[in-house]
Structure 1
Amino acid sequence: MSSPEQIQRRLEALQEWEEHYFQTRDTHFRSLEALQAETISRIPRRWNQKLMDAVDRFLFYTQSMILNTGVQREIEERILTTARVFRDDIEGIADVGKLRVEENKFILSQVMAKQRLLAFGQGGITGFGGPFLLASDIPLLMAINLRTVQLSALSFGYDLRHPAEMMIALKVFQVGSTPHSLQYQGWQELEWEKGNIVKEFPGLYEGDEQIIDEDWLQQPLRQVGKLTMIMLLRKKLIQGVPLIGIAYGAYSNYRFARQVSEIASGYYEKRNLLERWNNSGFA
């Protein structure tokens, strides 16, 4: 169990991270974002809503599918096995939240390294520029990064079998995958998400179940731009291989994965620390 001093120091470090992260805006993307916002505003409102509803359904189904696979059970067991190295009284995912902060961070670092490598590899494969690879890039990228959020939650002891935690994970994904300069408002709203868990029935959620908003729609436009660039770079061959397109695809997807993982790990660590602080009577 972490001491109050350790928890306080880590909360202060997270506060510094927040200030730095949200003040460091992608200023060179400002004109691009303005163009994207204008493009979205020209789309009829009903089509925007249909697109947001379609993405919401995709995220719900994808999350449910992932959480009901054998792979999910395997990764949970690996996390529990690692946690038991530090404490032999760990029985379930919720008990992982009892570890010392450094131990949770260690588990998180192990799973995040694999996720970023997966995103990097998937982007590199997309860089070959084949029609099937281009068509599957956005769904695969969303699924990989939704998985990143799920693993961040597990690393701090949040069991995603509870409907409320599933909804919160989707909200974290939405904030993490929104363009960087538009994330701050969503991050502030995440601070209140825990209050939407019904206290009498901890598995239930009473917040807004709409996940995707219009700001988020700028992200698919960026991904379409990336795919267009890969198609153009497909003809730039080096010894018969589109190396420039591969490198561009890998870097773009890695950068996106890093953004999502920063938000997810920051949110779940801060939530875990605040709960420990409040439950210990130091608030």
Structure 2
Amino acid sequence: MTEYEKKAFQELEAWEKKMRKRQTLAARYAKVVQNKINAKIPEKVHNIITESIKKTVTAVLVGSEYTTKRTPLKEASLEQREELVLEKVKVYKRIASAEGAGTGAGGLLLGAADFPLLLGIKMKFLFDAASLYGFDVKDYRERLYILHLFQLAFSSDKKRMEVLEEIKSWEQTAESLPVKSTYLQTIDWQSWQQEYRDHIDLVKLFQLLPGIGAVIGAYANYKLLDELSETAMNGYRMRFFNK
């Protein structure tokens, strides 16, 4: 290994250890508060989240929206790839923050519109990251891996453990997954949206409140992109070192 690869491997080990930790008591208490706030949010807002997840996942699996003009980067070191990925992270964080501030300033319904917009930003980043790590996103299995990374970043403790084990042995996992024509039929959309919504930070829900939504929206989106980028980089490092 190069010095950079040694450092990246150590960071990967530390990240995996962190992913295996259970939520702290404070986090579990925040979840109770979050559930109470969730119960007060109109059903219309929850429906927006569910439908946006369904449309986004469907687009990832069957559409060309995210694959167009993305070609895998060949013949580059891990360090070179990650320099480019980190540049992308900066760009997407700025976009997400600006978008969160804009929608957050509009109160409940406009704040709810942030969810599908942010989902799109997250997916575009994941597709860019995959290409920079040298994976062809036109390959159906690579798009499934992207969805697994998304779930890994935004899921409960139990689901996170399941997904982590699946990506640790991705070649075997990919072989056992349903073919593209039937995969959509196997998805439990309610579970998907529940995992995603439950993971969204307590502060993110305050983006839906008039008056303070703009500042909170910008901060929350920046933080969520930061979390996603850490998951993506270590998820692809895992495959790099597995080879």
Matches within 5 A, 1:1-283: 3=1, 7-20=5-18, 22-23=20-21, 25=23, 27-34=25-32, 55-61=53-59, 64-68=63-67, 72-73=68-69, 76=70, 93=72, 95=74, 98-130=75-107, 133-179=110-156, 183-198=160-175, 210=187, 214=191, 217-220=194-197, 229-234=206-211, 244-275=212-243
CA distance in 2, matches of 1:168, 1:161: 12
> RMSD of the TM alignment (CA)?
3.9
Listed one character per residue, the Cα deviations across residues 222-274 of structure 1 (whole Å, up to 9, x for unaligned) are: 6597676345442xxxxxxxxx4311111111111111111111101221232
Does the residue aligned with 1:66 lie in a helix, a strand or coil? coil
Using the TM superposition, name which of 116-125 and 10-19 deviates more: 10-19
Contact preservation (8 Å) 1:171, 1:190: yes
CA distance in 1, matches of 2:58, 2:14: 33
Contact preservation (8 Å) 1:198, 1:205: no
CA distance in 2, matches of 1:215, 1:66: 21
Structure 2 unaligned segments of length 5 or more: list them.
39-48
Query: Structure 2 counterpart of 1:33, which letter?
Result: K
Normalised TM-score (structure 2): 0.74
The 1:181/1:122 distance shift into structure 2, 3 A limit, reads farther
Contact preservation (8 Å) 1:150, 1:160: yes
Contact preservation (8 Å) 2:52, 2:116: no
CA distance in 1, matches of 2:170, 2:222: 28
Cα displacement (A) at 1:20: 3.9
The 1:39/1:212 distance shift into structure 2, 3 A limit, reads farther
Listed one character per residue, the Cα deviations across residues 34-56 of structure 1 (whole Å, up to 9, x for unaligned) are: 5767999xxxxxxxxxx979834
CA distance in 1, matches of 2:240, 2:190: 27
Listed one character per residue, the Cα deviations across residues 85-132 of structure 1 (whole Å, up to 9, x for unaligned) are: xxxxxxx5152xx31111011111111111111111111112212465
The structure showing larger relative contact order (alpha-carbon pairs under 8 Å, at least 6 residues apart) is 2
The 1:11/1:145 distance shift into structure 2, 3 A limit, reads same
CA distance in 2, matches of 1:187, 1:226: 26
Instruction: Give aligned pairs, total.
Output: 229
Normalised TM-score (structure 1): 0.65
